[in-house]
Structure formats: structure tokens, C-alpha cells
Structure 1
């Protein structure tokens, strides 16, 4: 649930204010409900051996050391809108093969035709409201031919009170991500998992860029 946002200036400003505080407690608190992050990395490693990796919404850099362990030779780029989150991430990555970018993800980030072999969204897309479709399409543009996307995120909840609460935290929980991902990429994995006895579901999606 990281802070790179879609193109709306108002949404971007709201998320930046949100993370001015939450960046301080993010790593200490999110372990209790951002489930499936390690599983998503493990599954991605089973289908890809990337040379260039992009994590969209890298936040405090929680996933970056795990990506480095699994893909020691890869160049990793993390992008996030929040300067506060990236300042924390910078303390976790001290190698010359990792780059951090502060910007929104309303358009592809690759340059000079050098695209990525793996794009990761870890609890980011559900916060792109509006703009989640644009972010998925940007990821498709950022991927090299045959490249893979990995997504782990909130899916849905049958409880309206919980959906409203998550909405106050900028999260949309309507199961809206997965159909668009399936249309945009060749699905390799698309599963839902129950959290806290069914209060909500989260999902993991792996897909390959269509030729």
C-alpha cells in the first residue's frame, strides 16, 4: 500500500500528506495486513529471471532487499511519489544497481528503448484512484517483449463498513484490478486468498506481456 499515485494532482497531494505521517510507522505496522508480499516475490522468481526490474510504489523499500537476494545481477528501479518513503528506502539499498525515482506513475519510466523484464506492484494499484488502469497500461509499455508483471494487492470485502474504512485510507476494495490485468496480460497466475477469517480477500497475479 505504497504511495506512487495516478495522474490526479488532488489525489497525489492527498497521498503525499497521508504518507508524511505513515512513512514513520509503515514498516512497523503493515506486516499485520499486507499479506502475500513474500509469496508474490517467490512466485515471480519461478517464472522470470529478469535483468531489469521496476517496482512501482516501492515505498519504504521493503521489497527491494528481497528482490536483490533473488535477482543479485539485476538492475532494480523503485519509483514512488513520496519523498519521505523514499528517504527510508534509500537507507535499505546501498548498491550501485538500484535506482530510486521520485515521481508519479502516470506514464512509462523506461528510457532509450531499454525496458524492464519484471514490473512489480505490491499493494499499490488499489490506491491509484483514479489512474489504476493508466498505471497498468504504463507497466505494459515499460515491459520488454516477453516480460512479466507481478501484482499483490487487496481484492475485495463483503463488509461495507470495512470498504468504507479502507476508502478513508485511500484504498479501493471492489475486485476491480483483476479483470483488467487478465485482459492486458497473458495470465500465468490469478488467485485470491482470505484474510482474517474472510474480512477481506487479497490477490496475487502474474502475467506475461502479450506479443
Structure 2
């Protein structure tokens, strides 16, 4: 399969690959991603937390800060942290969230299984178009999110799902994206689904998924 090359990567190799990939992509990310990263606005609307609450929110793979800005606007009393392994993306995210002051903190570091800094301290963990690029360690990050969420906290995920077109899956694999419907089974197993959708993009060229689950 097109994604078999991902299976032998260590966490260090995966992080280095993402650093190199986003060195260029960070310069064009916001100008291009609107055309195919569907579901990013919807997933934030689907989060079943009181907008007035004083929540503790983490986004893994925060990129340029697009979602952090939307989260900070929807939850004006929340404390938000964004993580990304790309220092180029983190620099943009810090710049793009500066208006929210100390409510938003952005860190250039990976999210890894076994860390204890947030254990049962988070109300929400968001993965937006990041898990399909974290290979083969995406399972570890889902389980880490479960450990870090408070009882009754939520995981929210929007990402690529699958494609019936092998040429497209190979193209995405060349851009470090794994597409084989692999996220939703584990998410549904580990969390109680609140939202579980698969939607079609560009007349069926590919599918993207939205999942909100409660711990």
C-alpha cells in the first residue's frame, strides 16, 4: 500500500520529516489549505462545551494558529496551548495569536505518549489535520489525549479519511498523509461518540472525517 513507508519511522525521524516538510509549506500554508482542509470551522462549532466556561484546551499540531484563533474567539475565558514540531509553523502561530495575549501559549515540541504534564487536566484536545501525518505513532497520541483529558472531557478530530482513488492516496502519501479510514475505529473504541461523520470532498475524490468523543 502507499502508506507502508510510514511504518518504519521512529518518533525522531517523524519529527525531523515534519520539520523539513513545513520549512517550505509554512510560507504558503494559509494561502493554500483553505481549498482542501474541510471541516476545521465545523469541528469547533461541534464542541459541546459552554462557550463561557474556563476551559483548559490543547491543540496538537497547531500549525499557523488558524484553529487557536477560532477557539480563543469561541471560548473567551479558556486557556489554550498549541503544540507543533515545526518551529516555522510555531513562529507563525505565535504571531497570529498575539492579540489574545497570555490566554494562548504556543510551544515547539512534540506530543508524546508517556508525558504526564497534562494528565487528567484538559477539558478538550483538538487534532485538526495532524493525526494522518503522524505515522506510525497516531495511536499513541490518541491514547495520550485520553490520559490527559479530565473525566468527561472531549477529544475533537477532523482529518482526511479515505479515497477510492489509488492515485490520490499515493499523491497524499508522497505528502506524508496516510488515508485508509484508520482513525475513526480507534476513536470510537476509546471515546463515547458525540459527532462521528464522514463527508465527501470534490465530488468523491476523497473523504474527510469529523469526530467528537467524550472520555
Give the TM-score, by structure 1 length: 0.92
Matches within 5 A, 1:148-187: 148-187=154-193
Matched, 1:103 2:109: yes
Q: Which runs of 5+ in 2 are unaligned?
A: 1-8
CA–CA distance in structure 2, aligned partners of residues 175 and 183 of structure 1: 14
Matched, 1:202 2:205: no
Matched, 1:43 2:46: yes
RMSD: 1.5
1:3 corresponding residue in structure 2: none
Whether the 8 Å contact between 2:119 and 2:148 is mirrored in structure 1 is no
- Structure 1 residues 95-154: Cα deviation after superposition (integer angstroms, max 9, x where no partner): 111111111112366637561101100000000111000010011011111000110000
Whether the 8 Å contact between 2:120 and 2:149 is mirrored in structure 1 is no
Alpha-carbon distance change, 72 to 13 in structure 1, aligned in 2, over 3 angstroms: same
Superposition misfits of 4+ residues, deviation over 4 angstroms: none
1:141 corresponding residue in structure 2: 147
Whether the 8 Å contact between 1:110 and 1:116 is mirrored in structure 2 is no
Aligned residues: 202
1:32 corresponding residue in structure 2: 35
Whether the 8 Å contact between 2:43 and 2:156 is mirrored in structure 1 is yes
Alpha-carbon distance change, 21 to 98 in structure 1, aligned in 2, over 3 angstroms: same
Whether the 8 Å contact between 1:152 and 1:204 is mirrored in structure 2 is yes
Q: Which runs of 5+ in 1 are unaligned?
A: 1-5
Give the TM-score, by structure 2 length: 0.90
1:91 corresponding residue in structure 2: 95
CA–CA distance in structure 1, aligned partners of residues 207 and 194 of structure 2: 20
**Larger helix share, 1 or 2:** 2
Matched, 1:11 2:14: yes
CA–CA distance in structure 2, aligned partners of residues 187 and 129 of structure 1: 24
Whether the 8 Å contact between 1:40 and 1:152 is mirrored in structure 2 is yes
CA–CA distance in structure 1, aligned partners of residues 202 and 119 of structure 2: 44
Matches within 5 A, 1:58-137: 58-94=62-98, 95-107=101-113, 111=117, 115-137=121-143
